[in-house]
A and B are shown apart, each in its own frame.
Chain A
């Protein structure tokens, strides 16, 4: 079935039901996953998914329905349900229309062939390579490697239409040392394809991280110093804080600390953030967001100054701004049920301009601090920026050298304040989720030991 043709047909059918504005979003996915359990290939999976999401506007009232589909009847029922729900809603004060295109979009193919053509047998080989690379010293209790071919199509009643074919690749492995009081390591891979997956390097990192965690000593006392956050931990903290504050909805709803700060300072000169929606390294890259607005490269924060907020079509109309192409329903680790998800407004790919220093250079400049290897949950209070995070493993730095590993302590601070105390930006850019960022050193954060 041609998704683009189905999406147009769905729009036409729903207009016949009385809707004034209609958007039909369809996704078809083939997702393959190989799971490791205790060094062995435990599960091999092939999952086929397709679904539709219909949003309508009828007499100023919005309704929304989504469903898996495999027959025309499923599509019709989904559209009719969205219309029926709109009739029961209340007039929306802001939303008047879905985006329109100045030119027809047509078909875009951004897939990576290695991911698109992978088989479960190929994934099995790759996960076994990772386990072998981790070596005998550790075991791999859990791991997964996933690829998906994602076809999405959108049509709306304003003539917007596109079909895009993309891919995602994702790996998540844990390791642990053998014997009593084991240490645990964890490593991830996010991309649009498999070409960047270095199975030997991943195995090496899993072994080293588990060893580091096992050798960690409980941190004692308190310290205020420099903290180097690696790309994976930093990405999660950035998405929870900066990602939240860039969302125009949160500004319009008065719950974003950056609501009134466009063209004002939100960080120091080392904070340079861009949205890079076409970067081939990321699984979310594409020419259109998930409501059909063209994506575009744009500065978000330049030398610490906030340049723009991000808007989907709804909040663009609420804020009398233009939609920025940042309405995202997809996830870089999971391609199933994308039509079910309400979208979120976020950078398609949040990129931090790298510096020139290696991590070793950054360490050598630190008088007292840590370089984090694993946080329990790298979360930040989005509204306030506050965080107090359990450090599961970190390298302790004194006078420019790593002097050991520590755990059982809290990393405490405020992320919005920390952006004003960035001390160095590394050159070790990595992709984690939809962030393309290097390690970053923050000065003046607090480490509190449990003893």
Chain B
């Protein structure tokens, strides 16, 4: 295959591309879903295809195909180059990425291919049955999902790379109902891991705790509304890092001056307690990759240091435009999607306070617990996150459980109010879209952080 990809690169160059690359990718996903203690789905999904990408001045042309025969690849290479030549965007040349020849296997303790499917099915059944701790649990859901990506890339600067990525996730969700009220609770574990994430989890306890917590949700009260002291848990801290500061630090948004963080390098954007990074090298994290989808090694990018804004995440193209080095953030959902500047693992660094100390200082406020969703706003810098639940804090003590609520406000104003940062970082894995498509595996997180944030309880 590498020879065919090399030929495709040569064909795109011959057609007039300034820069080009050819990727071949296989993504195999195994999934087991159990609902109400019955196996609902056991499946394998495999996609395999080639992406030809050519650049002329500042325009890209793409062509993809699932037919990996040489003639079809070469035909697609011509289409990609001609599509690039038809564009009219301006841009600086991509600097030489340097030659390299690398083959890497994923560093996981237990590769999914080494574990019998029977064991996997039983594991998911076990964590599902454990959720049924009470007759008020009306629905249980459990999922195991394993993904193995095999990537090959050749570019016009002489890079020939092959690498593997492995990700495993287990998820449980229980629905409780009583007297006409229905609530749910969930938990997720996983990352850039193999089956060890399952073997090393007490599956019975994992399911049981989610069942118990969903029952507690039946008594949760409406959250207060207005500007409040809010201790964000690692998941919501991560949404603030990822959705607002992260998306707005993707350099393609800077190049076109769409980000509210344009021209902010060197400026104070948050409390001196705040340091934030994007780091694609974090061991076992869901967003970690050895190379991005342009063949650049992943790296650690400091975005905020002690409250001062430091810089951006880069692809090959944006790095060329800004005259800096690429950071390994040119990523694509799969071979048939385009490469953009994307995050990897984005999080706030730890501080020095424990959660108890942070709560003790709060006269009236809220502690969040888990996220439902968040939304980017690179133009306006607005923050919106939905918490699954939280706790009311009164006079330094947690007093009540609160049901789902929304946090909102201007991100920079929120960051400036940060007055306490916890001493333990946790990462929460998920998938990130840009706009409304192009989903890539990422994680986000941080420690507990204390801010002033506007809340709205529903």
What residues make up the interface of A, taking CB atoms closer than 8 Å to B?
A: 35, 37-38, 40-51, 61-70, 78, 81, 85-86, 88-90, 92-93, 120-121, 124, 141-142, 172, 176, 182, 184, 222, 253-255, 257, 333-334, 336-337, 340, 342, 376-377, 379, 381, 383-384, 386-390, 392, 408, 410, 412-414, 448, 450-451
Contacts and interface: CB of A to CB of B under 8 A. Distances in A.
B338 A65 contact: no
Contacts of B375: 376-377, 390
B352 interface: no
B402 interface: no
Interface of B: 35-36, 38-39, 41-49, 58-69, 76, 79, 83-84, 86-90, 117-118, 121, 125, 138-139, 175, 177, 181-184, 225-227, 252-253, 255-256, 258, 334, 336-338, 372-375, 377, 379-380, 382, 384, 386, 403-406, 408-410, 435-437, 454, 456-458
A40 B43 contact: no
Contact of A41 (B66, B87, B227, B382): B87
A383 B375 CA distance: 20
Given A68-B66, A253-B138, A448-B456, 4 more contacts: A62-B41, A65-B43, A376-B408, A383-B182
A334 B458 contact: no
Q: Which of B46, B60, B375, B405 has the most CB of A within 10 A?
A: B46
A450 B436 contact: no
Given A383-B183, A390-B406, A390-B408, A85 B44 contact: yes
B83 A37 contact: no
A334 B437 contact: yes
A52 B63 CA distance: 21
A45 B44 contact: no
A40 B58 contact: yes
A43 B87 contact: yes
12 contacts: A37-B252, A43-B62, A66-B44, A88-B118, A184-B380, A333-B436, A337-B336, A379-B386, A383-B175, A386-B403, A408-B410, A450-B227
Nearest to A184: B379
Contacts of A412: 225, 456-458
A424 B65 CA distance: 49
B382 A43 contact: no
B256 to A, nearest CB: 4
A51 B138 CA distance: 37
A381 B382 contact: no
Contacts of B182: 254-255, 257, 383-384
Given A35-B338, A121-B86, A43 B59 contact: yes
Contact of A44 (B87, B175, B372): B87
Contact of A388 (B58, B62, B138, B406): B406
Nearest to B87: A41
A408 B41 contact: no
Contacts of B89: 37-38, 40-42
A340 B29 CA distance: 10
A63 B83 contact: no
Contacts of A450: 227, 408-409, 454
Nearest to B377: A376
B100 to A, nearest CB: 26
A71 B428 CA distance: 40
A392 B380 CA distance: 9
A42 B227 CA distance: 42
A390 B382 CA distance: 9
Contacts of B410: 408
Contacts of B43: 63-66, 85, 342
A332 to B, nearest CB: 11
B264 to A, nearest CB: 13
A253 B174 CA distance: 11
Contacts of B35: 253
Contact of A333 (B175, B384, B437): B437
Nearest to A390: B384
A337 B335 CA distance: 11
B211 to A, nearest CB: 14
Given A42-B58, A377-B373, A414 B47 contact: no
Contact of B377 (A50, A386, A392): A392
B66 A172 contact: no
Given A62-B42, A64-B43, A172-B435, A45 B61 contact: yes
Nearest to A257: B182
B432 to A, nearest CB: 14
Per CB-CB distance, the 7 closest pairs between chain A and chain B, nearest first, are: A386-B458, A388-B406, A388-B456, A254-B138, A410-B456, A44-B83, A64-B43
Given A49-B66, A68-B46, A255-B138, A37 B256 contact: yes
Contact of A48 (B41, B65, B138, B227): B65
Contacts of B408: 376, 390, 408, 410, 450
B439 to A, nearest CB: 11
Contacts of B83: 43-46, 120
A118 to B, nearest CB: 14
Nearest to B458: A386
A94 to B, nearest CB: 8
A448 B139 contact: no
A247 B117 CA distance: 31
A88 B42 contact: yes
A68 B64 CA distance: 13
B42 A64 contact: yes
Nearest to A380: B458
B405 A47 contact: no
A110 to B, nearest CB: 24
A88 B118 CA distance: 6
A379 B46 contact: no
Contacts of B88: 40-41
B388 to A, nearest CB: 10
A119 B44 CA distance: 34
Contacts of B337: 336
Contacts of B374: 377
A351 to B, nearest CB: 22
A43 B121 contact: no
Nearest to A144: B435
